[in-house]
Each structure stands twice: as structure tokens, then as C-alpha cells.
Amino acid sequence: MEPTRIATPFAPTGVPGSMVDGRIRMNIVIVGHVDHGKSTVVGRLLADTGSLPDGKLESVRAFCERNSRPFEYAFLLDALKDEQAQGITIDTARTFFKSGKRDYIIIDAPGHIEFLKNMVTGAARAEAAVLVIDAKEGIRENSKRHGYLLSMLGIKQIAVAVNKMDLVGYSREAFEDIRDEYVAFLARIGATPRFFLPISAFNGEGLIHASDKMPWYKGPNLLSAMDNFEKEPPKANQPFRMPVQDIYKFTSLGDDRRIVSGRVESGSIQAGDPVVFLPSGKKSRIASIEAFHAVAREEIGADISIGFTLAEQIYVGRGELMVKAAEVQAEVSRRLRINLFWMGKKPFQPGKTYHLKLGTAKVPCRLEKINYLIDASETGGQTKSAVERHDVADCIIELSKPLAFDPIARLEATGRFVIVDQYEIAGGGIVREALPEDAQAIGSAKPSLLSRSAVSAEARAELMGQKPALVILSGGPGRDPKVAAKALEARLIGLGRHAFYLGLEDAQEADSHQSSESGDAKIVSGWEAEIPAAQLGQAASLLLDAGLLVVAAAKGLDSEDIKTLENLVEPHAVLQLEAPADAEEATGTTAGLVEEALAKLRASGAIGGI
Amino acid sequence: MSLFAKDSMEHDHLEQLENQSVYILREAYANFKNLAMLWSIGKDSTVLLWLARKAFFGHVPITLVHIDTNYKIPEMIRYRDQLAMDWHLTMVYGQNKGALERKETFPDGNITRLQCCKNLKTDALKNTLSGEWPRYRLNLQTGKYETDKNKDPYTGVIVGARADEEGSRSKERYFSPRDKNNEWDVGDQPPELWNQFKTDFAPGTHLRIHPLLDWTELNIWEYIQRENIPITDLYFDKGTGKRYRSLGCYPCTTPVDSTSKNVAEIVAELKTGKFANIAERSGRAQDKEDGGGLETLRRDGYM
């Protein structure tokens, strides 16, 4: 059988900074408004640099002739029948060509607004960008939108090519008008293009040679501009960050290692280094570096997928961020100022629960406020109540639990996130800064359906002969405070008090069970569903308002959870007692705990001397 | 990075591909309860299996699924079961017994190649993944296959597809959704950025996961060479001047003319030899039956 020639010049890679046969590769994305000529630029670059497979150009020309269509360089890129049918690029086709300096992986991103998510997918993999603007049509909506997005996606090296210069008679004035307007626009979002150049892709002017049609332009042609882009410097000098993907303990075949696994996003680490896990704040030390069938390494740097065992066994899980104790720590907050672009069919709106994914963490989040919209169409700074599809906005979000991250100005990998609306990744963005946690905002999780009764809390306390209080019996791993909590409730009832046992531990066990089962088709229906502390606080708040002494048992509450509880049940008191290690076993110890709780209640004035 | 300073640049590139694939495999494992990995016994999915051992520190905590068309080259099945025993794999196969019994196959002369692919691969795959047809599981004690009691549908399916294989695969995502009918909506794919993948999905739908999307055929062979991965010897010339470049069913896969007798010779041949500009699947007859054969199959669930 006669082998077929390769039909398309596809040679993809999503891995930046790679080298093959000693040649450096660079991923470049070509963006711009629809029909401004991106595919023509790429097709022409492929043809002019001799990067097409034999016979490809001829076969496309023959195809056009047969179908009575004018030849277009863009056809070279149309790998799918669909695309040719619609006449637009629907996905980020990946092609490649060589210059004298290096190999380029060209990500040709669709300019049509409907395919924004494809454009983002392509651009997120790029190291540099060429943004194409039609000289005749001028700056259009997506010229601007793609400009912001490149900046948000972290692409700092941008060449702006003003294309179709032949349609404006190669006019210097036309070029400079567009340049001045667009440079001013990019400056407003803090971006500066590395190059601004005039071309005519269709006629091959200004692509790989200086154009004699535009002697007034003294800058580099497009290919030399691209050759002037620089490779990203290594991330070794940055602080160490590793989002924990999982803790593995595969017991089969006698393996007893407990391995913290993940990929290093920045910095480097060695065995013996003290580490901190955020947001939990738990500390340990690297005991060993673990890998399968790999050369032993003393130091692990960025982009390496690896595993570690720890010197002190601590309970951490997927979603924590491992940092080095000796370096600048990541921030931990549940209120963030972000820049967000929205791709979802439904808008991003207040009052609805979404999920934010940053690193390996996945946290419920809500839109608190839109500061302003970065408007792509006309004037900037207009206000809206929701972030609609294709909008870019500066906003404040609140999270149901603390998140570890870095502001984008410090580190990129741990400063970027996506937002999931039900099943779909609907938005992407960067964290600008952590905001002070607003007790008011957290308190807003308090049920608001109920209006306050006219009976004062004091009158109710007098009637019931007690002041309401929330007693939390907590314990660490292996300690079950449930028995003591129920005993306390029984004791209080025995003393003629109005007490109520509120079972939190079930909710909490269900929650940890859920996370161990790894989010399989599991949709959390509301803001509270993943937050036992908030659930408990809300339920307790009502019971406390009714004048009751509320007793709850909860394992593994951290100080953050206690703060949440205090906010939610305010103005009622929260009393916390630690169950001893063997509370479940020894009834004597349980009795001791109950007495201790009673003493605390008396001391706080909840019972006894009212 | 000092560790890699001495290594070759190609090594560095393979290192990056490996790290990305391992990351994707771990994300898949963390996010899907019913996870399967398709193992065609070919070089790509065997590299994928090796990468799983890398990701999980020598273990493979994911079920391997093979679709047995009954027309696989017999060496492939022997190699499959040997590796499954050696590496303690959870090994499952499924097949379209009905079509085979009714002789609704191309080798029986009753249907076209593409229709045969649909019966023996696409339909077998669909019904094996959903659990509607029986699955056969290797008992590592006895070395025999038994009917698998687990009939739960797999919601995450790891596949060794590479973007460079042909046009339609260059459109895939690392995590690519398939609807209830296994269909792929190529025009409406989820965004994928900053290593955040689509891991939430509606009941009844599932995700195809592609850890090898960025690898080329050459990368695969270079990695097999670097890691010394045991690979079926059907890829090597054993003195006849012919070898398989791509493995499939024997009635539809022809060996290519090549005298490469080992991995190093295959790498050399791909880099500079006669295959440097010839598509890998050129020996697969079903790709040529209509203009968009493979894409038509893929939309319907083919790998």
C-alpha cells in the first residue's frame, strides 16, 4: 500500500519552553476580531517560511479552483470539514513553522465571539501573542477584549499587527491612528505591546521581509518581532508552592508509604525542609522525595509532578497548598478582589453559589459586589448587577471557607482561578488582593426570612430561667465528643433546664465522606451544604433565639470555624470544651466533662445566678 | 533545574510531557469515582499505563479496559495478560458477542470496514463502559477471566489519543465531555486553562480524559526508549522486512516495510528515515473509506 503524505501540518504541544533537536520552541497565539485576518497571517507565515508539507499549497489552490472560490491562505489551516463549511475557525488549531532562530507552535485562536472559550483555551497555553487588527475596520470589540484577556491570562509579550494595509493604501496615518488609540487603551489596563507593526498578510507585506510599500515604517517585520520575544525565565527563584493533589497510601504489595503528591508550581524544595499547609496551618517537614522509576533528586523544582513523605504525620488532604515555612507565605482569606472574565451562558450574579477552583482547592463562592466592568465596546466603567457572558469585571467575591492563594502580582500559578457554574467552567480570573473578612458579610448567611419578635431576649431569658448559650464539645482525631454532649443535654434536662442536643457530627462525617469520594456528579445545592460550621451556626442561632441551651459535638473545628459560629449566633455566647482522648470509653471522664461544662455555664451566667 | 543540566534537551522535553501527563492522571483519579483506562495494547496506551505507574508510585489504582474485537493479533492478547499479571492490574475486557455470533463483521464479508469498526469497537466500547454488556475481569490468582460483578458505568475514561494523529484529535481537550449517547460536540467544548479541567458533569454523561494529547509519535518512542518500557514485539521487524507501525485488527492493519528491529532503530527511522513525513495511521484502512471517516467515528464514541 502506498503511504499517504501527512495531510495537515499539525505538530502540537502544550508544553512551553520545550526544545526538540536542540531548537527552542515557543507557543504563540494569534488573536483578534473575527475576519481581521488571523488565519491568513498564519497561512502566509507557513507558506513563506517553507514550513508546509510538499504539495499542500498546490492542493489547496486546486481545491479552490475546483470549487470556484478565490484562494485564501486561511484554508491551509482548516483541518476539519466543519470549519470549511462555516468559514470560521472554531477551535484553537495548532500549527507550527520555523524561523532561523526557533520553532513556533502557532495557536490560531478563533476571533468569533461565540468561541471565546476556545480563544481563552488556546491563549492560556501561549508564551507570547500576536494581536491582529484590520487597518480598514479599525479597533473592534474583540480587538479590545482579546487585549484584556491576554493581560489577564498572563501573556506579557504582545505584538500588534495592523493587517490589510493594502486596503488603506499603505497609509502611515491610518496605521498611526490605530496605533495611538490602541496603545492608549492598553495603557489603561496596564499593558504595553512590545511591537506595533503594519502588514498585509494577503500580499505578504511586512511578514518576513521589510515592505517596500511602507518605507515609512522602520521597525521589525512580523517574523523578526516574534524572534525578539523572550523565553520566560525559570521560576526557581520564586517562593515554593505545591497544591496538594492527593495523599496516597496504596497498601497493596506491602507499601506503607503515605505520600503527599502534587506538582510544584514555583520555587524548589529539598528533603528536610520544614513545610506549612495552608489554609489549615498544619506544619511538618519533608522526610523523603518519592518517585517511581526515576533518577534520585536532591532538589525538586517547578513544573515537576512529584511526591513527598512527611516527618511528622499530620492530617491534610487535597486542596491544601504546601509552602516552605522559611519563605513568604501564601495568603489565606475568604474575601477576595478579583478580575474575572465570564464565558458562561448564564450571568455571574449575586445570591447564587458557584465553585471557585484554584490550584487543587475547590471552594463554594458567591459574588458580593461588582466594582466595575472593563467594557470592551464603548466607554469604560459602567455598572451592572451581574457579570454577563463575555464581560470582564473587577469584583469582590466571598468564599464559604478560607482559601490559600497568592496575589497575581506575587505569583501567577497560585493567583489564577476558574469559577464553575453547576457543571461548567464558566469564568476565569486572577486574584488581585485579599480583603478584610467582613463579619457582616459572613453574618449575612444567617437566615433572613424570619422577622424579629417583639419579645425581648431578656424577657424570654427571665421566663425560661436561663440565658441561651451554645456549648461546643470538640475533639481531635480519635476523640468522639458525641457521648459527652448527649450526657450534658440529659444532665441539663435533669436539672430542669431547657436544653437541646444539636447533632453536627453527622453532617461533618457526611462531608468528609463526600470529599473522600471525590465529587462524582455531586452538585452542592446551596451555600451552606459544604459548611458544617455555618450549618450548625444557623440552626443554633434559631434555637438560641428561642431561649434554649444548645449542646453540640463537633470534631476537628478550627479557630476559623469557631469565629464563624460566633458571628452567626451573635449576641449569644459560645462556650467551647475539648473532649479528652478517651471520653467515649470512660464514663468517669464523660462525667468530668459534663461537670466542667456545667461550671462554665454557671460562670458565664447562662444558668444559676440569673 | 541543576539536575537536568547534564541531560539532553530532548530529555527535557519528555520530562515536561511526563510531568503534565502525570498531573492529568492524578486529577482524573482525584475527581472520578468510577474511572477506567482504555488499554488497546498498542504503544500509546502502554505508555499511558506506564505513566499511571509513575503517577501512583508503582501502583495502578485504575481499572484497565480492553475492547476485544476478536480480530486482534493473538500476540497482543498474550502480551496483555502477561503484563496484567506482572503489574497486578485490574484488567477487564468487553466485546460485541452478538455481532460476532451473527457474523456482522467485515472479515465475514457481510459489512463495510467502517460498519465493522462501529459494531466491534464503538458499540462494544459504549456498552462495556456503561455496564450494559458483561465485562470480564482477570482473576490475578488463577490467571483466568471471570464475569465482572461491577456493572456501574465508568464516568471517567482515560484514553491515549494524541493530537497529532489526525485532524479531529487536534481539537480535543485534556478533559473532554461525552453526552448520554457517547457523542462529542466538537463545536462546543469546555474551556481549559491553567490546568483547570472540566471535572463536574451531569448524570448520564461522562468525561474522556486525554493525558497524551501533547505527545507525538516520536515522543512516544523516545519515552519507551528512555524508560525501557516493555512493548509488544509486533512493532519490530523479525527478519521479514516488515513490522507494524500501528496496531489494530489484523484484517484491516497492514505492516509497513521497515527493518527496524528495536526501539532505537524505530526512533532513528522516525526522526530521519522514510517515515519522517508519512502519517502513522497510513496503514489503517478504515480511515480512508470516506472523507472524514475517523471524525465521524469519533463523534460517535470511537477512540
Give the lowest-confidence range in A266-275, A432-441, B11-20, B89-98.
Answer: A432-441
Q: Averaged in consecutive runs of 10 residues, what is the pLDDT profile of chain B (303 residues)?
A: 39 87 96 92 94 96 94 89 94 94 91 91 92 95 93 92 66 82 74 89 86 89 94 91 87 89 91 67 54 50 52
Query: Is A305–B171 a contact, with Cβ atoms under 8 angstroms apart?
Result: no
pLDDT band at A485 (very low <50, low <70, confident <90, very high): confident
Domain limits for position B104: 2-216
Chain B: residue nearest A114 by CA? B188
**pLDDT tens-digit map of A157-177:** 999 999 999 999 999 999 999
Task: For chain A, positions 314-353, list CB contacts with chain B under 8 A.
Answer: 318, 343
Give residue A479's pLDDT: 60
Answer yes or no: are the C-beta atoms of A591 and A487 closer than 8 Å. yes
Question: Whole-angstrom distance between the N-terminal and C-terminal Cα of chain A?
Answer: 98
Is residue B191 within 8 angstroms of chain A, CB to CB? yes
Please indicate, yes or no, if residue B141 is contained in any of the structural domains.
yes
**Residue A603: how many other CB atoms lie within 10 Å:** 12
Query: Is A3–B278 a contact, with Cβ atoms under 8 angstroms apart?
Result: yes
Nearest Cα residue to A107 out of A121, A122, A90, A124: A122
- What Å distances lie between residue A96 and A13, A16, A161, B30, B215, CA to CA? 10, 13, 19, 34, 15
pLDDT surpassing 80 at residue A512: no
Nearest Cα residue to A468 out of A522, A392, A548: A548
**pLDDT tens-digit map of A63-105:** 778 888 777 777 766 543 333 333 334 344 456 677 888 888 7
How far, in Å, CA of A9 to CA of A21, rounded?
18
Please indicate, yes or no, if residue B250 is contained in any of the structural domains.
no
Contacts of B186 in chain A (CB under 8 A): 80, 82, 90-91
Which residues lie closer than 8 Å to B217 by C-beta, 6 or more apart? B162, B164, B270, B280
Give residue A507's pLDDT: 42
Give residue A89's pLDDT: 40
Contacts of B23 in chain A (CB under 8 A): 245, 263, 305
**pLDDT tens-digit map of A531-564:** 467 778 888 888 998 899 999 887 667 667 777 7
Here the cell at position A553 is 459535638
Is residue B33 within 8 angstroms of chain A, CB to CB? yes
Question: Whole-angstrom distance between the N-terminal and C-terminal Cα of chain B?
Answer: 37
Answer yes or no: are the C-beta atoms of B269 and B261 closer than 8 Å. no
pTM of the complete model: 0.75
Please indicate, yes or no, if residue B272 is contained in any of the structural domains.
no
How far, in Å, CA of A46 to CA of A399, rounded?
47
Rg (alpha carbons) of chain B, rounded to whole number: 19
Chain B: residue nearest A295 by CA? B3
CA distance A304 to chain B (A): 6
Here the cell at position B155 is 464516568
CA distance A252 to chain B (A): 8
Summarize chain B as % helix, strand, coil (round to 5).
40, 15, 45
Phi, psi at A382, each rounded to 5°: -75, 160
Query: Is A413–B277 a contact, with Cβ atoms under 8 angstroms apart?
Result: no
Contacts of B166 in chain A (CB under 8 A): 7-8
- Among B20, B155, B171, B224, pick the best mutation site for testing chain A contact (most A Cβ within 10 A): B171
CA distance B93 to chain A (A): 23
Please indicate, yes or no, if residue B206 is contained in any of the structural domains.
yes
Is residue B242 within 8 angstroms of chain A, CB to CB? no
Q: Report DSSP state, residue A570.
A: T
Answer yes or no: are the C-beta atoms of A206 and A217 closer than 8 Å. yes
In this complex, the residue of B170, B191, B213 whose CB is nearest that of residue A79 is B170
Query: Is A518–B227 a contact, with Cβ atoms under 8 angstroms apart?
Result: no
Query: Is B170–A93 a contact, with Cβ atoms under 8 angstroms apart?
Result: yes
Is residue A14 within 8 angstroms of chain B, CB to CB? yes
Q: Is B136 left (phi over 0), alpha (psi -120 to 50) or beta?
A: beta
Percent of the residues in chain A that have a pLDDT greater than 70, as a whole number: 77
Is residue A162 within 8 angstroms of chain B, CB to CB? no
Is residue B291 within 8 angstroms of chain A, CB to CB? yes
Please indicate, yes or no, if residue B293 is contained in any of the structural domains.
no
Q: Considering all CA atoms of chain B, what is the largest pairwise distance in Å, rounded to the nearest integer?
A: 62
How far, in Å, CA of A207 to CA of A223, rounded?
6
Q: Kindly give the pairing relationship between strand A23-32 and strand A19-20.
A: antiparallel
Domains defined along chain A, listed by start:
19-227 (3.40.50.300), 241-324 (2.40.30.10), 331-438 (2.40.30.10), 457-604 (3.40.50.300)
Long-range contacts from B265-269, C-beta under 8 angstroms, 24+ separation: B266/B221, B266/B235, B266/B236, B267/B218, B267/B221, B267/B222, B267/B225
Is residue A90 within 8 angstroms of chain B, CB to CB? yes
Q: How many domains does chain B have?
A: 1
Q: For position B15, which CATH number holds? A: 3.40.50.620
Q: Report DSSP state, residue A446.
A: S
How far, in Å, CA of A186 to CA of A183, rounded?
5
DSSP secondary structure string for all residues of B180-214? TTS---TTSPPP-BTTB------TT-EEEE-TTTT
Half-sphere exposure of A609 (CA within 13 A, CB side): 6
Query: Is A20–B10 a contact, with Cβ atoms under 8 angstroms apart?
Result: yes
Query: Is B189–A17 a contact, with Cβ atoms under 8 angstroms apart?
Result: no
Helix (H, G, I), strand (E, B) or coil at A155: coil
In this complex, the residue of A120, A246, A290 whose CB is nearest that of residue B191 is A120
Contacts of A291 in chain B (CB under 8 A): 54, 57
Give residue A3's pLDDT: 34
**pLDDT tens-digit map of B140-159:** 999 999 999 989 999 899 99
pLDDT surpassing 70 at residue A57: yes
**pLDDT tens-digit map of A328-350:** 999 999 999 999 999 999 999 99
User: What does the mean pLDDT of chain A come to?
Assistant: 80
Please indicate, yes or no, if residue B265 is contained in any of the structural domains.
no
Answer yes or no: are the C-beta atoms of A302 and A236 closer than 8 Å. yes
Which residues lie closer than 8 Å to A470 by C-beta, 6 or more apart? A540, A544, A550, A552, A565, A569, A572, A573, A574, A575
Please indicate, yes or no, if residue B257 is contained in any of the structural domains.
no
pLDDT surpassing 50 at residue A10: no
Is residue A417 within 8 angstroms of chain B, CB to CB? yes
Chain B: residue nearest A519 by CA? B31
Is residue A13 within 8 angstroms of chain B, CB to CB? yes
